[in-house]
Structure 1
Amino acid sequence: MTILDKNPYKKVLGIASLSLSIWLAAGCTGDFEEMNTSKTQIINLGPDEYPNMFAQALSQGSYHPSYQTATNLFADLWCQYYATTTPNFQSDRYHTNMGWIGSHWNPIYTQVVPQLKTIFENFDANSPEYALASIWWVFSFHRVTDYYGPIPYFDAGIVANSVKYDSQEAVYDDFFKRLDAAVAILKTKESDASVKPFGESDIIYKGTISKWIKFANTLRLRLALRISHVDKARAKTEAEAAVASGVFLSSADDAMMVRTAVTSADGNGISRIAGWQEFRMSATMESILKGYNDPRMTVFFQPAFATKTYEGLRNGLDPDQLVAQLNTNDYNSNVGSRWIRNTGSGSGWENLLAVNADIMHAAEAYFLRAEGALNGWNMGGKAQDLYEEGIRQSMATWGFSGAAVETYIVGTTPPVAPGDSQKSPAVSDIPVKWAATEAKQREQIGTQKWLAVFPDGAEGWAEFRRTRFPKLYHVINSVNVDIPTTQFIRRFPFTDAEKATNKAAVDAAVQLLGPGGDKASTPLWWDKN
């Protein structure tokens, strides 16, 4: 029996602490979701709770309970999947709203860490349950470190007045070690179909070990490419080991998390917020999808209410620009009817909360392998073949196959001018068909990977920073003094709460960032493009 710690930023050693704290999703007041936690709840833990704790860690690590302020208002905009249509959200103009970012930080440290550390303490280190918890630990933390850089990692979960931050390089090193060890454990149990760690409480794969092996290896491949500009030798070693061990091969391997409509917080995060009339398709998306005659456009988005056509707007428009008709909600495309349906009026929407959440798609593995092949690594195939298969698998994820897909793969049309209020030119000039030069091939891989990881803005933003692909429009306006409109945002500053309660550690972490300091313009360790 324990009592929840009153400081959500303090990392708690008694790993039962915080393990079953309940985050309550308040309604959309003031246009954004606030998360609250009980400070005094008394908890009893036992074996019956462990599966539910794993499910809670999965849910919170995906950010769907806090989707808007954890992902949509930052990474989703900064990778330009969407643009905002409401003038009071300045994050599309590179304002780093420190009042929102707790929705990205808090779930990991107050929900995921305690749940997983409890599992680590109560299961043998060679058990499949321990391995699954370790894999999800890496998945959860790779998103946090890719927002900030240095983070509390090795001491996450301990009781201390000041908890140190670790360098991103050290954190990534541990990621690779954890994934390698986890896969080794799971492979000893793979042949026993009766072993189903956490069973139905595993809301991604229902305890299917072979699927988790592929997930871990694909995540390892993702992280290997992430460090490929700063540690080429380690990147090659990790990528080749991941492919040899077995990564995703088809859309049947896609990691999809079960979401329900039991409560709003249980639902798909995109579905929950899409009817709030605050964002629409970006002009970048429009330029690429229309230029390629991409069938996925009809699933990713739906026609604008006023025009019955697919339309997007530029990122970073100011309040005066957003009132122009072409930039209003009815003249731009909301996300697709998979997540939300229009009920017959521009402002009427039916949220489809019980839609599985996209965690990782098989297509990504092919594009990562294609890039690795261009690097000269052994990726089990040629770059062009892997690139084209990646397109097929992405199309399969979204329900397309056959002759139309093969025609798309050899398409020669480039992105088009989106016809937006800014009269923007086409965002790029590359077609889908495999190019003759390596520079163009890398852009093609990056562009198709960006499409393939949709709607995961956290990954889309991370990969754009690493590769600078796809080419994106610069924001029209920036309110961040450190980032002019000729540049792109690189990271999120450390949280105000951490600066107030963990100042000595934050000050030391700033030094780990290098000469740029704690600014949104400072590149992360792996961001050397």
Structure 2
Amino acid sequence: MKKIKIKLYKPLAGLALLGMLGTQSCTKNFEKYNSDNTGLSDEALKPDFNFIGGFFPQIQSSIYFNFNNTTGDFQLQQNLMGDVYSGYLCPPNNFRGNINNMTYSLVDGWNASAFNLAYNNVMAPIFEIKRRGAETIAPEFWAIALILKVEAMHRVTDIYGPIPYSSYGSGGTTSAYDSQEAVYTQFFKELESARKTLSDYVAAHPGVSLFSKFDMVYGGDYKQWIKFANSLRLRLAMRIYRADPAKSKTEAEAAMNPNNGGLLETNKDNVQVSGFGLKHPLYTIITAWTDNAMNASMESILVGYNDPRLPKYFDHSTKYPGTYKGIRIGSLVTAKPGYSGYSIPANTETKTFRNNTPIQLMTSAEIYFLRAEAALRGYANAGGTVQELYEKGVSTSLNQWDATTAAISAYLADNTSKPIAYVDPQNANNNSPALCTITIKWDDGDAFDKKLERIITQKWISGFPEGQEAWSEFRRTGYPKLFPVVNNYSNNTIDSKIQIRRIPFPSTEYTSNKAEVEKAVLMLDGQKDLGGTRLWWDRP
């Protein structure tokens, strides 16, 4: 077949673009597929939409990165970054002699992963889907591609700030950056376009889904994808509240408008990726590498609340039996097995994290908490009072993890339990009094800030283990109150009290796209490419 020539963003060259589809799909990588005339042609793949749909498994499994089950890439993309900065996890490994991300000595070779993987494994195949005419040939496929693009790329802009987005794929070896405000504006337009396209398709073709065999989330149910689009729109609308309150309100109210297709409401609606041999990367990191442990902030809050989700999230410490024990970020962790035996993500006792555990991107509980915050801010269409939505968020999350009705009622009625102080039995220098002091039971007489803290603290608990999203919400709201780093090796570029706000642009951008990345730095709030510089939506 004819070789396709495409000029894309420079790091894309030579990367595989097609996901594995078993016996029904094209399984060649991009370069080979376009040069090997023994492969299946576009025409051969068109009758069953493999020529477009074949890209989707890669896209879906590359958001919380595990395409081809490359756990090492996930560890750099998220686990040693968002998972730690969110207060969820902390490795019992003294990588690089503790001169690493945990002590704010940011490792460029690690921190480029989130940037490169998203462009190579999500943006590239979506560009190719567009080039093959999906917008007109299969608009419902294109609508889902837009939703997945926003889901993947909002994580990237929430790590770095300005990113190449609107000009992606326009040709040449460099790509212009958009401000984060411009990127978010395009996100909202794309989500609305996707919602409308899918709504129109469902109305015109009830019960029809050509996407089902490619769908790793909803089995081809377009109505569920509409709910996902609206829920993602609500997430992003609330994120920009401090930067653009008017836009936040407009977008949130549109997302919550009951006439627009609805939001995630039950745990059956949760956005979870599975199938096609996908493996959960935490399983390998826990079992084979022993590179993950509970974060001290998780210990403080979940143990203090006697939270029913605790045994579903973590195993007991084997070093200090009968306890749950975390590691505080920035601790000078000694070489293995020094901190081995602290609590790890649940694998042995409740077996939550196994090879075939679905990868969670969004839950219905999160959406109830977002609606509760929207109601707190006076937005229309929230669909309940702040208290009702808060309690629904808590109960939905507890139900997700099989809590009993009695346990849920007792938890919601608890007005005394508070997070506990952190004690490191190996090094008292890491100890800290509890910073988060919020209780669980809703009190409508509380001040606004206390109500917000209660909502976000429970939202944080419910989001585990998706640390990238939790880190973004911590930066946006300041909640829950997380333990700061014990040792800060950032050379005064990151304030320990304020904590890390972003990741600097990869050094490869300064060598391959210098003029454009320098323009991007000027779009940053502090106009310095540092970990302590705030993003556009991250306002004090």
CA contact (8 A) 1:274 1:334 kept: yes
Structure 1 residue 8, shift from structure 2 partner: 7.1
Superimposed CA distance per residue, residues 482-529 of structure 1 (whole angstroms, 9 cap, x where no aligned partner): 114333001111111111101111111111114341111100000002
Give the % identical residues. 36
Aligned to 2:484: 474
The answer for the alignment partner of 1:288 in structure 2 is 301
Give the Cα–Cα distance (whole angstroms) in 2 for the partners of residues 443 and 197 of structure 1.
44
Alpha carbons of structure 1 residues 236 and 450: separation in structure 2 relative to 1, 3 Å:
same
Amino acid across the alignment from 1:393: T
SS at match of 2:438: coil
Give the match's secondary structure for 1:83: coil
Residue by residue over 1:265-320, the C-alpha shift from the partner in whole angstroms, topping out at 9 and shown as x without a partner, is: x311111211212221011101110111101110110111231421112111124x
Secondary structure, in 3 states, of the residue corresponding to 2:84? helix
Gaps of at least 5 residues in structure 1 are: 24-36, 344-348
Q: Distance in 2 between matches of 1:242 and 1:461?
A: 23
Matched letter for residue 150 of structure 1: P
Partner in structure 1 of residue 218 of structure 2: 205
Q: Give, in whole Å, the separation in 1 of the partners of 2:454 and 2:432.
A: 21
Matches within 5 A, 1:44-443: 45=42, 46-47=45-46, 48-65=50-67, 66-88=73-95, 90-121=100-131, 122-125=133-136, 127-191=139-203, 192-244=205-257, 245=260, 246-259=262-275, 262=277, 266-275=278-287, 276-306=289-319, 307-319=321-333, 322=334, 328-330=339-341, 332-337=342-347, 341=348, 352-378=354-380, 379-412=382-415, 413-421=417-425, 422-435=430-443, 436-443=446-453
Q: Which amino acid aligns with 2:264?
A: F
Instruction: Give the Cα separation in 2 of the matches to 1:381 and 1:351.
Output: 34
Aligned-partner Cα distance in 2 for 1:194–1:20: 30
State whether residues 220 and 238 of structure 1, in contact with CA within 8 Å, keep that contact through their aligned partners in structure 2: yes
What's the offset of the Cα at 1:178?
Answer: 0.7
Amino acid at match of 2:32: Q
RMSD between aligned residues: 2.6
**Counterpart AA for 1:94:** Y
What is the deviation of 1:404?
Answer: 0.6
Contact 2:65 2:77 (8 Å CA) reproduced: yes
Moved more, 514-523 or 421-430: 421-430
Residue from 531, 535, 539 that aligns with 1:524: 535
Look up the equivalent residue of 1:41 and give its one-letter code.
K
If the length of structure 2 is used for normalisation, what is the TM-score?
A: 0.86
Letter in 2 for 1:250: T
- Give SS of 2:171's match: coil
Amino acid at match of 1:128: E
- Paired with 2:111 and 2:129, the residues of 1 have a C-alpha distance of 27
Aligned-partner residue type, residue 439 of structure 2 = P
Distance 1:467 1:107, change over 3 A: same
SS of structure 2 residue aligned to 1:359: strand
Match of 1:454 in 2: 464
AA aligned opposite 1:52? G
From 444, 459, 475, give the equivalent of 1:465: 475
- Is contact 1:283–1:418 with CA below 8 Å preserved after alignment? yes
Which residue of the partner structure matches residue 20 of structure 1?
17
Aligned pair count reads 496
Deviation at 1:101, TM superposition (A): 2.6
8 Å Cα contact 1:10/1:159 also seen in 2: no
Please tell me the residue identity of whatever aligns with 1:115: P
1:29 maps to which residue? none
Instruction: Please give the alpha-carbon distance, in whole angstroms, between the structure 1 residues aligned to 2:353 and 2:448.
Output: 43
Deviation at 1:107, TM superposition (A): 2.1
Structure 1 residue 50 displacement after superposition: 2.0
Q: Does the CA contact (< 8 Å) of 1:109 and 1:156 recur in 2?
A: no
Would the aligned equivalents of 1:120 and 1:133 in 2 still touch at CA under 8 Å? no
Alpha-carbon distance in 2 for matches of 1:486, 1:76: 19
Q: Distance in 1 between matches of 2:206 and 2:303?
A: 45
Query: What's the TM-score, normalizing by structure 1?
Result: 0.88
**Residue 10 (structure 2) aligns with:** 9
Task: Answer with 38-47 or 217-226: which moved more.
Answer: 38-47
Aligned to 1:99, what secondary structure does the other structure show?
A: helix
* Residue 162 (structure 1) shift: 2.1
Gap runs ≥5 in structure 2: 21-27, 35-40, 68-72
Match of 1:490 in 2: 501
Tell me whether 177-186 or 54-63 shows the greater mean CA deviation. Answer: 54-63
Moved more, 121-130 or 368-377: 121-130
Could you tell me how far 1:114 is from its partner in structure 2?
2.2
Q: Which has the higher strand share?
A: 1
> Shift of residue 163 of structure 1?
1.1
